[in-house]
Homo-oligomer: A and B are copies of this chain.
Amino acid sequence: MEGGDASGADDRTGMPLDADRFEAEATALREALLDAQFDLADRSSRAVLILLNGADGAGKGQVLNRLHEWLDPRTIATLAYDINDRCDLRRPPAWRFWCDLPERGRIGIMIGSWYHTMLLHRATGRADEETFHARIAETNRIEDMLVAERVTLLKLWLMLGDNETGGSAINTEAPPGSRNNPLVREWAEIDTKKERNRLVRAARELIQKTADCRTPWHTVRADDPLGRDLAVGRHLLDTLQAAVRWQPPRPGVLPFKPHRVSSTKPVLPTLDLTQTLEKDRYEIELADAQARIFAATQSAAFRNRALIVAFEGNDAAGKGGAIRRLRSALNPVHMRVYPVGAPTDEERARPFLWRFWRHVPLRGHTAIYDRSWYGRVLVERVEGFAAPAVWQRAYGEINDFEAQLTRAGYVLHKFWLAIDQDEQLRRFEARKATPHKRFKITEEDWRNRENWELYAAAVEDMIALTSTEAGPWTLVESNSKRFSRVKILRTLADRLEAEL
């Protein structure tokens, strides 16, 4: 079955499929689909995400119902979106798609996916040519990421012939209660001829530019409903079988020596870790920065923005203390702190960014991450939990993730808290000796310490490869806790005031 021209119609005659032949083929197909679906569920090695697109009236609702008839409904879910939902818009546009990503072993059928938004914006002129192309490029990278993160995509476009976005002339849907209303209405807003033409052109371009070997488009002729359903079923069967056959790549071997991916000059050695701050000054400056952060996050301008702060750093560098000073400057109603530890089973069954997307703050709110998505290029890299191919592609994935946040108006700031090895040893020893700090020091901390050089190399790469204008890293000299905390809070206060 090749993409681009699949059809269930009788190839020899070009005639619509008759009901008897459909029944015969559908029965065999259904059996094969169910087998593949159960194999997928048993292995739980990949998720399958079906993007169901096409003109209103091409039968998206019918196809949906057919797939629910053929498959075991317990491991498939329909994921459909109201593009005009104003409460969903209180987070970045990608949030809703991420939240619904099916877990491995399951199948999601998405209607109104990211393609719908892109096309609608292009057709109505809300996105110009250039923006549209930027979204296409980003979409390609995100889909590559999904595929690499064990989500198999099946991209289907139901074609209604030439007048493919009209919908009023050709309407094969017969939803209950209203023969003129397709069950799924996506394009109701496209009401002028100019918009319709732009939509047709944009759709054609989109299909061409977002189809590569790993994420091809499958167009399906929709004028013959039975043939259409068979064609969709066959594409799905191919997809499920490929997902079941998939084998995880052999885990790569971690280079023993510190290894840099980027070739920039190391920045950690340039930090002046001797900087300090006397107590009186500390208290004044801290209170001042806290007051500025409080005022900024309570301001009217912030209501349509949001703040995301990620804290990373050497063990014992003082993340907890800094976070405490930050959170006490924020209204608790609009703030959450997320300590990032081992993922839950729901998180493990999905792409690694899911657990961060699910907690993306509402506009007007602040999310503080105590460790973050950078774990992939730090601890997972150094400890070998992620294969080199996995953490190496993560830099780009993370940059895209952050770009989606900042494009939505979110203020994103990342801190690396740096101490030297001597200071770390002093703090470890002090923690061992202080009863209420005992808990902060574990075997793992001592083990991480032995990998100091590997971590340093990973940090250098991280900073070189993920420093962006919208998501900057601030390196914080943290041998002095007072100096560190004030630098962090002042940096945030400056940033917020500059952004608002």
Contacts and interface: CB of A to CB of B under 8 A. Distances in A.
Interface of A: 27, 30-31, 34, 38, 61, 64-65, 68-69, 72-75, 77-78, 80-82, 86-87, 90, 111-112, 175-178, 183-184, 287, 290-295, 298, 320, 323-324, 327-329, 331-337, 339, 341, 344-346, 370, 435-436, 438-440
A248 B68 CA distance: 42
B38 A439 contact: yes
A333 B31 contact: no
27 contacts: A27-B436, A30-B436, A31-B436, A34-B439, A69-B324, A73-B320, A73-B324, A73-B370, A74-B339, A75-B339, A77-B337, A78-B335, A80-B332, A81-B333, A82-B333, A82-B334, A87-B90, A111-B333, A176-B287, A176-B328, A177-B290, A177-B294, A177-B295, A177-B329, A178-B291, A184-B333, A344-B346
A330 B239 CA distance: 27
Nearest to A338: B77
Nearest to A329: B176
Contacts of A331: 183-184
A33 to B, nearest CB: 8
Contact of A68 (B287, B327, B334): B327
Nearest to A331: B183
A77 B291 CA distance: 23
Given A177-B294, A183-B332, A344-B346, 9 more contacts: A68-B324, A73-B339, A78-B332, A82-B334, A87-B87, A87-B90, A175-B294, A184-B331, A346-B346
A65 B178 contact: no
A27 B324 CA distance: 18
Nearest to A345: B345
A323 B87 CA distance: 28
Contact of A112 (B176, B333, B337, B341): B333
Contact of A184 (B82, B332, B339): B332
Nearest to A186: B333
A189 B323 CA distance: 31
A331 B61 CA distance: 8
A35 to B, nearest CB: 9
A73 B340 CA distance: 12
A243 B472 CA distance: 43
Contacts of A323: 73
Nearest to A100: B336
Contact of A344 (B334, B345, B435): B345
A365 B271 CA distance: 55
A61 B332 contact: yes
A440 B293 CA distance: 58
Contacts of A112: 333
Contacts of A34: 436, 438-439
The 8 A-B residue pairs whose C-beta atoms are closest, nearest first, are A177-B291, A176-B290, A87-B87, A177-B294, A74-B339, A80-B333, A176-B291, A80-B332
A30 B292 CA distance: 30
A82 B74 CA distance: 36
B176 A73 contact: no
Contacts of A328: 61, 65, 68, 176
- For A73, A77, A324, the residue with the greatest tally of chain B CB atoms inside 10 Å of its CB is A73
Given A30-B436, A82-B334, A333-B81, A341 B294 contact: no
A345 B349 CA distance: 12
Nearest to A176: B290
Given A337-B77, A439-B72, A111 B332 contact: yes
A248 to B, nearest CB: 22
A64 B332 contact: yes
Contacts of A292: 177
A73 to B, nearest CB: 6
Contacts of A298: 177
Nearest to A89: B87
A81 B68 CA distance: 39
Contacts of A178: 291, 294-295
A61 B438 CA distance: 27
B73 A31 contact: no
